[in-house]
Amino acid sequence: AAGEAEARLLLLQEARESIEAARSYRRELQQRLRGLHQARQQIKESATLTRDVLEQHFNDLKGTLKKLLDERLLSLLQEVDVIEQESIKPLDECQKLIEHGVSTADELLREGESAVDGDVGQHNEKLCNFTKKALHIQLDSLPEVPSLVDVPCLSAQLDDCLLTILKNQIFRHGTVASRPPVQLEEFVEKPGGILVRWCKVDEDFTPQDYRLQFRKGTASHFEDVYVGSETEFMVLHIDPNVDYQFRVCARGDGRQEWSPWSVPQLGRTTLVPHEWTAGLEGYSLSSRRNIALRNDSQSCGVLYSKAPTYFCGQTLTFRQVPPGIETVGQPDRRDSLGVCVEQQNGFDSLQRDKAVCISTNGAVFVNGKEMTNQLPAVTSGSTVTFDMEVVQLGPCSNEGGNFKLRVTISSNNREVVFDWVLDQCCGSLYFGCSFSYPGWKVLVF
């Protein structure tokens, strides 16, 4: 009996495992069915869109070609009118001259006939006047009439090779691509932004430039956000927890036209944007409060972030936005960019306890102490990044404990790496900056 019970338990266990395997198999099949549906939908939607694009394009071409042909016809007809008018004008003048000569000859004939047939008493006087008049008119002078070979004979020169050229060009115009040569590859969430990466998927395609577009939610039109040779771009001014649709295309080496667009994909960020604290005298902020400009106020102090929005595992980026320090003279040794555990008012620099920073001359400070390693100086257009990961020393609780962060600061293709030991757990940090002279303009993302 015990053996039968054990066998039954084994059978039940195998049955349950088979049922779970069947459920998993069904889920996978359903997932694949959804994938097939999406693929079929993409093919149909892209085919419909392609038909619409082709029909619209060729309708536009037909309209443009008709307009161009009408304009050319009008130009040629006007040219015929000009030649006709310019050629007829001298003939009209010659005709007037001849008609005047005929009229004069008719009058002279009447006078001559009257003189010959007149009275004997007036005969000699009339004959004498008629003879003098005939000599004055110069009856041997005749206007010259051009021969037919010397006057224009208009004709239209129409070369049928235009149709051959157009036919060859039209038959080669346009292509239908089944796959775009580039596709979106990855979306990386950033505070108030998305880092978009793409890659080439056609080995025979040699890209020269890329073009990235996006649109918010269900907006009808895509907008250009990047055109260039890089294969990634940080799209800023992204509202958190909102879907954005992205697409990318490329232009082949030596070509003018762009390739077909990639398959549109959705991207979003759940991270709130970094913002500077508003209202601090000495700094003016942009409308989104992600750019701080050191104004010409005499007030000094550290400008902090609005909240501790920098989390370990992310990359914090400061960028000096031109025009920058090129207009302000020598930087001050207290000038700095960095992160800190908490806001502490009353300091004129981040070169203090519970903070790490880089000064504008490239010196790195940890808890107020300068390191021996130094980075390149921060100048207009420079980009400085902070990366941190947690390396815990001992227990960490709500009451605090030893805590270590591995910090990497990069500037102008150089970096320093060090460990920052704290006496408390820090899941998020503030960022800040301090400048003594006006003209510094810092974007944070």
H-helix or E-strand containing 351?
Answer: none
Tell me, what's the pLDDT at 395?
56
**Distance (Å, whole) CA 276 – CA 441:** 12
Give the number of other CB atoms < 10 A from CB of residue 43.
11
Handedness of CA 224, 228, 231, 237 (dihedral sign): negative
Tell me, what's the pLDDT at 400?
47
Q: Phi, psi (5° rounding) for residue 311?
A: -110, 145
**Distance (Å, whole) CA 337 – CA 305:** 12
Tell me, what's the pLDDT at 330?
62
Tell me, what's the pLDDT at 120?
58
**Distance (Å, whole) CA 389 – CA 128:** 132
Residue span(s) of the chain under CATH 2.60.120.920 come to 283-444
Q: Which amino acid is at 336?
A: S
Residue span(s) of the chain under CATH 2.60.40.10 come to 182-269
- Contacts of 25 by beta carbon, 8 Å cutoff, 6+ apart: none
DSSP 53-121: HHHHHHHHHHHHHHHHHHHHHHHHHHHHHHHHHHHHHHHHHHHHHHHHHHHHHHHHHHHHHHHHHS-HH
- The rounded Cα 124 to chain-centroid distance in angstroms is 102
CATH (residue range 283-444)? 2.60.120.920
Tell me, what's the pLDDT at 335?
92
Q: Which amino acid is at 416?
A: V
pLDDT tens per residue across all 445 residues of the chain: 677 888 888 888 999 999 999 999 999 999 999 999 988 998 898 899 889 989 999 999 999 999 999 999 999 999 999 999 999 998 898 889 888 888 888 887 887 777 777 665 566 777 777 777 777 777 767 778 888 888 888 899 888 888 888 888 888 888 887 889 999 999 999 888 999 999 999 888 899 999 999 999 877 799 999 999 999 999 988 989 999 999 999 998 888 889 989 989 999 999 889 999 998 888 999 988 999 998 888 888 899 999 999 998 889 999 988 754 445 456 788 999 999 999 988 888 999 999 999 999 999 999 999 999 899 998 878 899 999 998 876 555 444 457 889 999 999 889 999 999 888 888 789 999 999 888 889 999 9
HSE-up (13 A, CA, CB side) for residue 50: 15
Q: Which CATH architecture has domain 182-269?
A: Sandwich (2.60)
